[in-house]
Amino acid sequence: MDAPPAPAHDLPRAPDPAALREAALAHLARFGTTEHGLRQVLTRRIRRWAQRAAAAGLDEHEAARTIAALMPAIADIVADMARLGAVNDAAFAQSRTRTLTRSGRSGRAIGAHLAARGVSESLRAEALDARAEGFGGDADLMAALVLARKRRIGPFARPGTAPRDAAQDRTRAFGAMARAGFSHDIASRALGMDPDEAEARVIALKSA
């Protein structure tokens, strides 16, 4: 025989719009995100409730109806946060682009990162255009130098590499640059740069 349904008082309480709004504010107080990201956070919250309720005996169709009923509230909350300026996809894209450039990420990698977080194509383009203008067209070169410094390759390689290993090391260095999304031209310029100039450029990027 099937187990009887759990008494209502044993089921976890579904989040209401007020609780979801509080969760949104709490998340935004700690993290920067996009409208898409906030929508995901709130959706995961009600799906976690549904999992707990199902484990406690709630019929899965009833859980699905509750989730569907709460989705418009999530849309309203996200829209409210955007109107208040608590969520700003354009500002998020600009800020994250600067941060990722300073950490050694290529324009291609940054574009993919922003797309995964729901930033629109037009806002991604604006952020990357501002990135190029802000660093005089050398944003990818400077980011590539940051990566080279982290990996200790190119101008930041440790001295004393045996000649027989130099070609292999260069191949590995180009591979690391390619995997990070840098073009062959950018990789060549970064890996072949004078160490003092490379260090100066990295310092300039970090302090920009």
Per residue in 139-192, pLDDT tens? 999 999 999 999 999 999 987 655 557 778 889 999 999 999 999 999 999 999
The CA-atom distances, in angstroms, between 84 and each of 78, 79, 152 are 10, 9, 45
Are 196 and 99 contained in the same domain? Answer: yes
Domain for residue 111, yes or no?
Answer: yes
Are 16 and 98 contained in the same domain? Answer: no
Q: Please write the tens of the pLDDT for every residue from 87-133.
A: 999 999 999 999 999 999 999 999 999 999 999 999 999 999 999 98
Are 137 and 194 contained in the same domain? Answer: yes
pLDDT band at 3 (very low <50, low <70, confident <90, very high): very low
| Single residue among 43, 67, 84 that ends a domain in this structure | 84
Contact predicate 33/19, CB 8 Å: no
Q: Which domain holds residue 34?
A: 12-84
| Single residue among 50, 69, 84 that ends a domain in this structure | 84
Question: Taking the model in full, what pTM does it have?
Answer: 0.84
The pair of structure tokens assigned to 186 is 């950018």
The CA-atom distances, in angstroms, between 140 and each of 26, 29, 80 are 35, 32, 36
pLDDT band at 11 (very low <50, low <70, confident <90, very high): confident
The domain total for the chain is: 2
Domain for residue 5, yes or no?
Answer: no
Are 46 and 70 contained in the same domain? Answer: yes
